[in-house]
Each structure stands twice: as C-alpha cells, then as structure tokens.
Chains A and B, each alone.
Chain A
C-alpha cells in the first residue's frame, strides 16, 4: 500500500468517525487539519479570473447635458487677462461619443503689462493698441470618452468618472476684427456626482487670429482651464 493511499484512508476514517460524535466542536476541529493536502491542493489551483462589471451610474444614450462653465485663459495677448462665462450643451449619443455646442462670453481686464502700456500711451497722448480682445464665441465640438474610472471619497461615496478628449471649431467675436475662425482641442475629466449632475475639469488649447498694429494679423494661442457644472436633462 502506497503512502498516499494510506494517508487518504487515515484521513477518510478520521473524517467518518468524527460524524458519529455528538460534540459539534470536535466535528469542527476535524475539518481541514491536514496541511500536506492543502499544499497539494495549491498545485492545481484553477485559473480563476474575477472582475467587477458595473453598469454606468448614468445612462448616456441620447441624453442632453447642459453645463454652466467658467474658464480662465492663459497665453495669447499679454496685455489682457481674460475669463469666460459659458453655456455648453452636449448631446450624448452613446456613453463614448457626444456632440456639443458652446457659447462663451469674455470678461477682460488689463494685465499689469496692459496697464503699463495704457499709462505710457496716455502720457504720450497716443491711443493704446489694445482693442482686439475677445467678446464672445460659439463653438461646435465632438467629444470622445475612451477612459473611465471611479474614486472612493473617504469611504463615503464612490463616484464614477470619464476621461475625455474634445475637438471643436467655431467663431470668435473680436472687438476690432469682428468674427474670426476659432479652433480648439483638449481633454478633461467628468465626475458623476449624482445620476443627473456632473462636475467637469477641462484643459484645452484654442487658437484664432486677431489684428495688431497696422492691420497686421497675429495668431493667438491660448490654454483654457475650465470648470463646469452639468445637468443631464
């Protein structure tokens, strides 16, 4: 009789005998006592794959999302500090794709450099050349949401989010040159706070042409930092 067969019979006998006892604790103790068996079991562990499959917190099939957006602009004309208050509409075709329309209204202030130029021009009795700043814009966008994840907020709430990229074309209304083409591309993250409310943080690049000096065209390149609060309708 091989050692394996003998050990099996001993284990089986001890198991069988323990059933006859009244003491449940003893029955319990006789479970899983053979360490060799456990070691052997490890060798044929199955290739088990476990994953978490969840529905999206928000259904984004053919849904319209309206957002209130506030942006800071960096780059471009160094004489002007600009921010934009905007209204964005995104029509979600699927959870991965949406098309959107954006309107933004500029709020412009002179920067320190701009103020210096104005002061110098005033002192010299000249008109400062600072007129071609943005007034408002319209944009059409296409957005793709390739990545997703979720965040555990201090074990209080688990929130799903999407990372997205967006590209758009539109027209910007400038104080001096009127409407010019506006191109943009960027990306951001959208957090689904509830099944109707989203918070988005976005960074995008935008470019357009304005006029400076003696009707000379100048390319403006800007980085736009945006925070948005969206409502799914």
Chain B
C-alpha cells in the first residue's frame, strides 16, 4: 500500500517533466545527476521511467545499484536492501553492494548483520581488493559492539594493505618517479596500453584510472612517443592520485576517531567493567537451512554472503534498583 502510494507520488511528479522522446541514456544520466544533487524523488522517477522502457540496454545490476542508492539516500533502507540483494555475485558491482548494504543495515540497527557483511568483505579472498571504506566500515561496526580488539586488528590490516600504495600515490601526486611509473610509461610508449598493465601497476596506480576518459585519451596516442613527451599522462595520474589521497586522508581521520574513542573507553569508561548483556538469538535461518562452522582464515568460495554473526553488545554496569 505504502509502496503503491510512493509510486503514485513519483508518477505525479514525473508528469511535470519533459521526458517524452528521451533515450535510455538520457534517463540514466538524469537519474545519476538527480542523485548527485540529492533529488532522490526525481532520481527514482527517472529510474522508474527507464525501467518502463522495454529495451533500455542498461545492465540489470547497474540499474539495481543506482535505484538502491536512491532509496538509501531517501532513507528507505528496507527497499534499498532489497535492491542491493538483487545484484549478482558475478557482477563487478557486487562488493560495492555488500559494503553499501552493510551501511543500510547499520541505519536499520541491524549491527550483527552488518558485521556479517564485513566478514565477507574482509575475508582472505577479498581483503586485497577491499576499499579503504571497507576497513572503516568494519572498524565502525566492531567499535559499535565494543570489540576493540578487532578495531585494532582492522587498523593493522589497513596499514599493511595500504602503506606501499599510499607511498606510491604520494610520489605520483608530486610527479616524482617511482619504478612502477617509469616501467609503465616505458612500456606504454613501446607496446601501447593493454600490454603495459600488470598486477603491480594495477595495485599502486589510482583506483579506476583505466576508466578515466582523459587518461585513456592520452594513453591511446602515447605509443611511439618519447617518455618525456608524456607529461599530460603524468599530470592526469597526479590529479587522480591526489584525489585518491584526499579520500585516504578522510578514511584515516575516521579510523583515528574510532581508535581515539576506543582508547578513551578502554581507559576511562567504567561501564566496560560491567557485563555484556545476553542477546537473543536473532538468527534468521530457516528450518531446513544448513549451518556450518566459520573459519576466518579459510572461507570457502560458496560461503561468501552466507554468514551470520551473533555478537554481544557493549558491557554495562547494572546498579541495584536501576
């Protein structure tokens, strides 16, 4: 009933928009722009219009993720979760969807379920490609249940994973030469873009640099040139690196805040001397579902996204008569 009402409002809203004759690409761009401008109702309207087109050509997972983000922004976390879950595990967007849906669960107060998602995101298979936000998310939920030990473990893993990468990005941002950059540029001029890409390059270069249109434009014409003539590419990479470093700085600040608060509570919060409340078994497993033990360092391929966590809440001191 509420959902139907929501659609009615959206349709009413869309009447006033000049959308006739628009292509799917138009709707897609407009929905993106509306979402960036926090006009979620408008974005949902465009997505609705896009879905109504028979051959819109937008991949299902892309559309579901965009709509989930719109609902998340609108505060409809239940609907957002439903859409996040529709994103296929085979999709490149799946890890992002797991991370974002964990935030939706936090907003809904489902901390244990959010922790379960972070266990998937930081499992041995994915930890090497985990984004900085994933570490922040994991640290945040661990802090929420006063699991300070895990907070420090995550910080440690974050440092180990990102130290070399950040150092490379800093040099790249300052247009300094590193072995990785020099090798890449030499290969680029000799062989072209695709043969120059190797795991080392992908690991220390800015995230998504291969999706950057300006970089690709410069890289296309780089073959056969002298390395010294590739100043445009280096400038572009420096810009991308700077932007990513700002992002890193932001995440590190948040991790500092969590760490600072954890330290404060460890030394000054008297409630930690109390007892953790026993929480009820929140399990959502069905009568015939299969339950297996979990081994953090040996997660089986089929176990991703099938984890359930039951963590006790923070300790409390109960006073007589309270």
Which chain A residues have a beta carbon within 8 Å of chain B's beta carbons?
A: 4-5, 7-8, 11-12, 15-16, 18-19, 23-25, 27-32, 34, 37-38, 40-42, 44-56, 94-96, 148, 150, 152, 155, 158, 160
Cβ-defined contact, A15 with B300, below 8 A = no
**B284: nearest residue on chain A (CB-CB)?**
A53
**Interface residue from B149, B260, B309 paired with A42 (Cβ < 8 Å):** B149
Question: CA A150 – CA B300 in complex, angstroms?
Answer: 10
Question: CA A5 – CA B162 in complex, angstroms?
Answer: 31
Cβ-defined contact, B306 with A96, below 8 A = no
Cβ-defined contact, B290 with A23, below 8 A = no
Say yes or no: A31-B302 contact (C-beta < 8 A), given A24-B248, A24-B252, A50-B116: no
**Interface residues on chain B, number (Cβ under 8 Å):** 62
Q: Which residues of A contact B302 (CB under 8 A)?
A: 54, 150, 158
Q: Which residues of B contact A4 (CB under 8 A)?
A: 267-268
Cβ-defined contact, B259 with A15, below 8 A = yes
Cβ-defined contact, A31 with B155, below 8 A = yes
Say yes or no: A31-B300 contact (C-beta < 8 A), given A41-B266, A54-B289, A150-B292: no
Q: B225 to nearest A CB, angstroms?
A: 31
**B249: nearest residue on chain A (CB-CB)?**
A24
Q: Does B276 interact with chain A (Cβ within 8 Å)?
A: yes
Question: CA A49 – CA B115 in complex, angstroms?
Answer: 11
**B310: nearest residue on chain A (CB-CB)?**
A49
Cβ-defined contact, A15 with B149, below 8 A = no
Question: CA A37 – CA B170 in complex, angstroms?
Answer: 30
Q: Which residues of A contact B286 (CB under 8 A)?
A: 55
Q: Which residues of B contact A31 (CB under 8 A)?
A: 155, 158-159, 252, 255-256, 259
Q: B176 to nearest A CB, angstroms?
A: 13
Question: CA A11 – CA B262 in complex, angstroms?
Answer: 11
Cβ-defined contact, A56 with B260, below 8 A = no
Cβ-defined contact, A56 with B290, below 8 A = yes
Cβ-defined contact, A27 with B252, below 8 A = yes
Say yes or no: A158-B301 contact (C-beta < 8 A), given A38-B152, A41-B151: yes
Q: B289 to nearest A CB, angstroms?
A: 5
**A162: nearest residue on chain B (CB-CB)?**
B290
CB-defined A-B contacts under 8 Å, sample of 28: A5-B268, A8-B263, A11-B263, A18-B256, A19-B253, A24-B169, A24-B170, A27-B252, A28-B162, A32-B156, A37-B263, A44-B266, A45-B148, A45-B149, A47-B311, A47-B312, A48-B311, A48-B312, A50-B310, A51-B293, A52-B291, A52-B294, A52-B307, A52-B308, A53-B290, A55-B290, A56-B290, A150-B290
Question: CA A26 – CA B159 in complex, angstroms?
Answer: 11
New A-B contacts (10) at CB < 8 Å, excluding given A40-B266, A49-B311, A52-B303: A8-B267, A24-B252, A31-B252, A31-B255, A32-B159, A38-B149, A44-B146, A53-B283, A53-B290, A55-B289
